[in-house]
Amino acid sequence: MDKMLYVAMTGASQNTLAQRAHANNLANISTTGFRRDFEQARSMQVFGDSFPARVYAMSERPGTDFTPGTLQETGRDLDVAIDGDGWIAVQAPDGGEAYVRTGSLKIDALGMLRTAEGMPVLGNGGPIAIPPEEKIEVGADGTLSIRALGEDPNVVVTVDRLKLVNPDPAQLEKGTDGLIRMKDGQPVEADALVRVTSGFLETSNVNAVAEMTSILALSRQFELHVKMMRTAEEDAAAVARVLQMS
């Protein structure tokens, strides 16, 4: 009886974690470049001082869906999105290299090119610095060209190039901060074949209908777990009454 109660209890507990994963996906449906997390449940043995005598239901996030989202036109020169496969390299808050699929870029007061979240964008030799300019353009290969202050309209200078990479998706993982990194933590070499599109941002790849359906299904499973716990309690009470009669 206690095993039935334990399985039902852990199932209900882990079920709430699974709902949280889908709720997080749904909450980021309008976050540009967001990649939804997968969720699955499996049985796990309970290890202790003795041999594992029972199992419990465990919910986990085994990976991330790297399916591209759709491109949404913004018309802004510093809004860039990957066209096809690939990633834009940025410097994460911890100082390491991370990767994003799209970015609403901006130039700060010191001339550093940053994402909307404030992370420096990486170029050929590290974080990209932009000299004072009147206009900036991003080429399809990630080349950054500017018209400097006071220069003629036909005088265009190339200042740097976005670091664009295309690693094996199987070697990528999403961190707790939502950024994509290599599993081994090592930076990736730039790939000259990756292309970007200026004036566009990539939308989230979350399917609202699928996420809502999963949340409703998990909610129904939670109710069944609670019902099983009540049944176990009723069965235990019935056994106790039989023992009292004997």
pLDDT tens by residue, 80-106? 999 999 999 999 999 999 999 998 999
User: How would you classify the pairing of strands 106-107 and 113-114?
Assistant: antiparallel
CA distance 36 to 38: 7
**Would you state the pLDDT for residue 121?**
96
**Chain position carrying tokens 């940025």:** 90
pLDDT tens by residue, 37-73? 998 888 778 777 777 777 777 888 888 999 999 999 9
**Would you state the pLDDT for residue 246?**
60
**Would you state the pLDDT for residue 1?**
54
Q: How many CB atoms lie within 10 A of CB 241?
A: 8
Secondary structure (H, E, C), 15-33: HHHHHHHHHHHHHCCCCCC
pLDDT tens by residue, 127-155? 999 988 888 999 999 999 998 877 777 77
Q: What is the largest CA-CA distance in the chain?
A: 103
- Residues linked to residue 56 through DSSP beta bridges, in sequence order: 44
pLDDT tens by residue, 204-238? 999 999 999 999 999 998 898 888 888 877 777 77
Which candidate, 188, 24, 210, 20, places its Cα nearest to that of 96?
188
44, 55 contact by CB (below 8 A) = yes
CA distance 79 to 162: 13
CA distance 226 to 13: 10
Residues 3-11 have a mean pLDDT of 79
Q: Where are the beta strands (DSSP E) in the chain?
A: 40-45, 55-60, 71-73, 79-83, 87-91, 97-100, 102-104, 106-107, 113-114, 122-123, 126-127, 133-138, 143-148, 157-161, 164-165, 172-174, 180-182, 195-198, 200-202
* Predicted model pTM: 0.81
CA distance 107 to 229: 57
pLDDT tens by residue, 154-174? 778 889 999 999 999 999 999
Q: Which two tokens stand for residue 65?
A: 């869906």
